[in-house]
Structure 1
Amino acid sequence: MPKVTATTIAVTALLLVGLTGCTGTTPSAGNESTAPAASEPAPPHVTESPTAEPEASDAEAAFLALVGESLPVETIIPDVTDAQLLAAGQEACDRLRAGEVPDTMSLIEGEQKNDADIYADSSAIISSARLTLCTDQLSG
């Protein structure tokens, strides 16, 4: 008789697991402390990022791709992060809007002009920013 009871309990447990997986209401009562905690953090990050500012994300992605292609091979900022590049791109836009001339701008502390008398890394960032982040600054 104990084998039947153990078997009955096991079969009942399997049926409950199968049924709760289909209904979606019963398992949350039993696993409420673990299931929502594991699933709650991920969806906000996944759903909020793309819908929050899709145009800004597209412009930022385009900027990062373009500046990545435009930076000189001998860049003085080999370990720069995307966040730092975006901040430099926004700074370039702000300074252009304030009337600064792109050819004279350096966005990187300590950057020196190259043999062509330009700030090569800053020039790549400024050009990329003008084409993607601050298209209102294309002239000049």
Structure 2
Amino acid sequence: MNRGLFAASAVALLLLTGCSASPVERDAVAAPSAAASADSAAPAPLVAQTPSAAASASADTPEGAFLAGVRDVLPDDTVIPDATDQQLLAAGAAACEQMAAGTDFSAVSVIEGEPADELGIHQDSALIAAVARKTICS
């Protein structure tokens, strides 16, 4: 993946993870034809997504390996239970950028509002960074 896509993905992650929809907005789900458009103006609300057969089949790609790895290591009580594949890839790209700038994987923070543990580590972000380092970071 190129750096431009990483930057765009990181921006998308920041925008999506920091937004909370009102009850009215959560009820207004985009129609499938509107959601299929990659250039839609407003992102669809977060929906729980389990790995599909297509995602599992693409595990031989760096992105597929990343998604499978992240979904495998994130705990059941993750702060991002409804993250989509696209959001996880954006978080991974942001983690790669932070680590390329010299941040240790345990100090990476890619989830807005994620609380740090008693050691100051953002656990879910650190897990994403560890998997990204092994799979998608170049």
TM-score normalised per structure 2: 0.53
Task: State the alpha-carbon separation in 2 of the partners of residues 69 and 125 from structure 1.
Answer: 11
**C-alpha distance after superposition, 1:27-46 (max 9, x if no partner):** xxxxxxxxxxxxxxxxxxxx
Correspondence for 2:73: 70
1:124 aligns with 2:127: yes
Correspondence for 1:5: none
Tell whether the 8 Å contact from 2:99 to 2:108 is kept in structure 1 after alignment: no
1:81 aligns with 2:84: yes
Q: Report the AA paired with residue 130 of structure 2.
A: S
- Which of the numbers 98, 104, 107 marks the counterpart of 2:107? 104
Count of residue correspondences: 81
Tell whether the 8 Å contact from 2:59 to 2:65 is kept in structure 1 after alignment: no
**C-alpha distance after superposition, 1:41-73 (max 9, x if no partner):** xxxxxxxxxxxxxx9970000000000011122
Give structure 1 stretches of 5+ with no counterpart.
1-54
1:116 positional shift: 4.9
Task: State the alpha-carbon separation in 2 of the partners of residues 94 and 56 from structure 1.
Answer: 22
Q: Report the AA paired with residue 103 of structure 1.
A: S
Correspondence for 2:11: none
Structure with bigger gyration radius: 1
Task: State the alpha-carbon separation in 2 of the partners of residues 116 and 95 from structure 1.
Answer: 19
Q: Report the AA paired with residue 133 of structure 1.
A: I
Tell whether the 8 Å contact from 1:72 to 1:120 is kept in structure 2 after alignment: no
- SS of residue in 2 equivalent to 1:96: helix
TM-score normalised per structure 1: 0.53
Higher helix share: 1
Find runs of 4+ consecutive structure 1 residues off by over 6 angstroms: none
**C-alpha distance after superposition, 1:77-133 (max 9, x if no partner):** 010000000011011111111112222221000111124542111011001100100
RMSD value over aligned CA atoms? 2.1
Task: Report % sequence identity.
Answer: 47
Give structure 2 stretches of 5+ with no counterpart.
1-57
